[in-house]
C-alpha cells in the first residue's frame, strides 16, 4: 500500500513541466519499495507516455478520453484508477486544472486534501510543508491519514531525468457520459504580444521599484543596449503598463534565461517561482534585505535610477 499515483497535466498538445516533476515527488513518497504510477488522461496519450517514461517511473496508465482537460472526465477516471490501484497517495499539480478537480476528487474518495505542497517528509507519518504570508512563514502539516490527495506546487521538485523502463498500460474506464457536463470549445490568445519571454536568453525584468509607467523607458533602453527582452513582476502587469505575456512568476510565465536582471523587484516567492531556474541572476535593488538577494548571483544595492542609465551607457 505504499504505491503513489500522480495525475500528469498537458495542454494544447504539450505536457506541462510539472508533469516531469511529479515522478520525483512520487518517488520521495513511495520510497524504494513502492511503485510510482503516472496517469495521462486525454490527448495523444501514447506520445505523452513515451515522453514521461523517465527514470524511477514504474507504470504509466494511459486513458484516451478527450483531447483537453475536462473536470468530469478527470474525476471519473482518477476515481476509477484509485479503485483499481489503491495507491496510498494521489498527487496532482497545484495548477488551474489540478485545483479544479482535486477538491471534487478528495470528496469522492474520502481522502483528506492538502493543497500547494512545497515539500514532503515521510518518516512513518507524512508531514508536508506549505508556505504562508507570501513565503515568509512555512507551515508543517501532519497528514493524519493513511491515504491522502496532495496538490504540489510546480517548480518545487526537480524534473525526473534519464530514460526509464516503465510499463505503459492502457486503462479502460466506462465513463458515465451523462455526468460530463462541460467541454473545452477552444483557446484564444488574450493580449498575446510579439515576444515570448520564455525563449529569451537575456531578460531585463522590471518591478514596482520603477514607480511610474513613463520610467519604463530606461528599462527598454537597457534592454536595447543588451539585446535583451523586457519582462516584469506582476504589479507592472496589474497596472496595465506591460501586457500579461511579460509577467514572470507563479501566475505568469516560467523562464530559464542565461541571464536574468531583476530591477526594482523584491523577490516575492510567487515571482521567484518563475525565474529561479535562470543561470545567472543579477539584482538591482536599493534594499539590501530584499529577498531577491537570497537567490541573486550578483547584486547592485543602489538606486535603480542611477544604476540602469549607467549600465545602458556602458553597454551602448
Ligand X SMILES: Cc1cc2nc3c(=O)[nH]c(=O)nc-3n(C[C@H](O)[C@H](O)[C@H](O)COP(=O)(O)OP(=O)(O)OC[C@H]3O[C@@H](n4cnc5c(N)ncnc54)[C@H](O)[C@@H]3O)c2cc1C
First to last CA, the chain: 63
Least CB distance to ligand X at residue 306 (A): 8
Least CB distance to ligand X at residue 250 (A): 4
Toward ligand X, which CB reaches closer, 42 or 235?
235
Q: 249 and 270 in contact (C-beta within 8 Å)? A: yes
277-306: which residues touch ligand X (CB under 6 A)? 284-287, 290, 303-305
Which among 34, 79, 43 is positioned nearest to 63, based on CA atoms?
Answer: 43
Least CB distance to ligand X at residue 75 (A): 24
Toward ligand X, which CB reaches closer, 93 or 207?
207
Q: Supply 63's cell numbers.
A: 486513458
Q: Which of 171, 234, 261, 296 binds ligand X (CB under 6 A)?
A: 234
Q: What radius of gyration do the chain's Cα atoms show?
A: 22
Q: 39 and 65 in contact (C-beta within 8 Å)? A: no
Q: Supply 296's cell numbers.
A: 541573486
Q: Supply 316's cell numbers.
A: 551602448
* Residue 270 touching ligand X (CB under 6 A): yes
Q: Which of 18, 22, 222, 268 binds ligand X (CB under 6 A)?
A: 268
| Count of residues engaged in binding ligand X, rule: CB under 6 A | 28
Beta bridge partners of 172: none
Q: How many CB atoms lie within 10 A of CB 193?
A: 12
* Residue 209 touching ligand X (CB under 6 A): yes
Q: Which of 66, 155, 207, 257 binds ligand X (CB under 6 A)?
A: 207
Options 9-17, 49-57, 139-147, 269-277: segment touching ligand X (CB under 6 A): 269-277
Rounded to 5°, the CA angle 164-170-175 comes to 140
Toward ligand X, which CB reaches closer, 41 or 262?
262
* C-alpha count within 13 angstroms, C-beta hemisphere, residue 182: 10
237-266: which residues touch ligand X (CB under 6 A)? 247-252, 264-266
Q: 253 and 232 in contact (C-beta within 8 Å)? A: no
Toward ligand X, which CB reaches closer, 42 or 93?
93
d(CA 219, CA 153): 31
Q: 29 and 120 in contact (C-beta within 8 Å)? A: yes
Least CB distance to ligand X at residue 225 (A): 19
Nearest residue to ligand X, by Cβ distance, number only: 249
Toward ligand X, which CB reaches closer, 175 or 301?
301
Q: Which of 54, 61, 88, 271 binds ligand X (CB under 6 A)?
A: 271
d(CA 261, CA 235): 17
* Dihedral (CA of 282, 154, 227, 188) sign: negative
Which x/- pattern, by CB under 6 A, does the window 3-42 give for ligand X? ----------------------------------------
Q: Which residues contribute to the site for ligand X (CB under 6 A)?
A: 134, 207-209, 233-235, 247-252, 264-266, 268, 270-271, 274, 284-287, 290, 303-305
Amino acid at each position: 500500500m505504499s504505491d503513489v499515483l500522480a495525475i500528469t497535466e498537458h495542454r494544447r498538445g504539450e505536457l506541462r513541466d510539472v508533469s516531469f516533476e511529479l515522478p520525483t515527488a512520487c518517488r520521495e513518497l513511495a520510497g524504494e519499495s513502492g511503485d510510482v504510477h503516472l496517469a495521462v488522461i486525454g490527448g495523444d496519450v501514447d506520445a505523452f507516455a513515451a515522453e514521461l517514461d523517465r527514470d524511477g517511473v514504474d507504470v504509466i496508465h494511459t486513458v484516451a478520453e478527450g483531447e483537453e482537460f475536462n473536470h468530469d472526465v478527470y474525476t471519473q477516471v482518477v476515481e476509477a484508477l484509485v479503485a483499481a490501484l489503491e495507491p496510498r497517495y494521489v498527487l496532482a499539480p497545484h495548477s488551474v486544472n489540478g485545483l479544479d478537480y482535486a477538491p471534487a476528487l478528495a470528496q469522492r474518495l474520502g481522502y483528506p486534501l492538502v493543497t500547494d505542497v512545497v515539500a514532503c517528509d515521510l518518516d512513518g507519518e507524512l508531514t508536508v510543508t506549505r508556505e504562508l504570508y507570501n513565503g515568509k512563514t512555512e507551515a508543517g502539516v501532519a497528514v493524519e491519514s493513511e491515504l491522502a490527495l496532495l496538490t504540489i506546487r510546480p517548480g518545487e521538485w526537480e524534473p525526473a531525468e534519464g530514460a526509464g523502463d516503465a510499463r505503459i498500460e492502457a486503462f479502460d474506464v466506462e465513463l458515465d457520459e451523462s455526468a460530463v457536463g462541460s467541454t473545452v470549445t477552444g483557446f484564444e490568445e488574450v493580449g498575446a504580444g510579439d515576444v515570448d519571454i520564455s525563449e529569451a536568453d537575456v531578460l531585463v525584468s522590471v518591478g514596482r521599484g520603477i514607480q511610474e509607467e513613463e520610467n519604463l523607458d530606461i528599462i527598454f533602453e537597457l534592454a536595447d543596449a543588451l539585446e535583451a527582452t523586457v519582462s516584469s513582476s506582476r504589479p507592472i502587469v496589474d497596472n496595465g503598463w506591460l501586457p500579461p505575456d511579460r509577467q514572470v512568476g507563479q501566475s505568469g510565465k516560467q523562464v530559464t534565461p542565461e541571464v536574468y536582471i531583476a530591477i526594482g523587484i523584491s523577490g516575492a516567492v510567487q515571482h521567484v517561482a518563475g525565474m529561479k531556474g535562470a543561470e545567472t541572476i543579477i539584482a538591482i535593488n536599493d534594499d539590501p534585505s530584499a529577498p531577491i538577494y537570497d537567490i541573486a548571483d550578483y547584486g547592485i544595492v543602489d538606486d535603480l535610477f542611477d544604476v540602469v542609465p549607467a549600465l545602458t551607457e556602458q553597454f551602448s
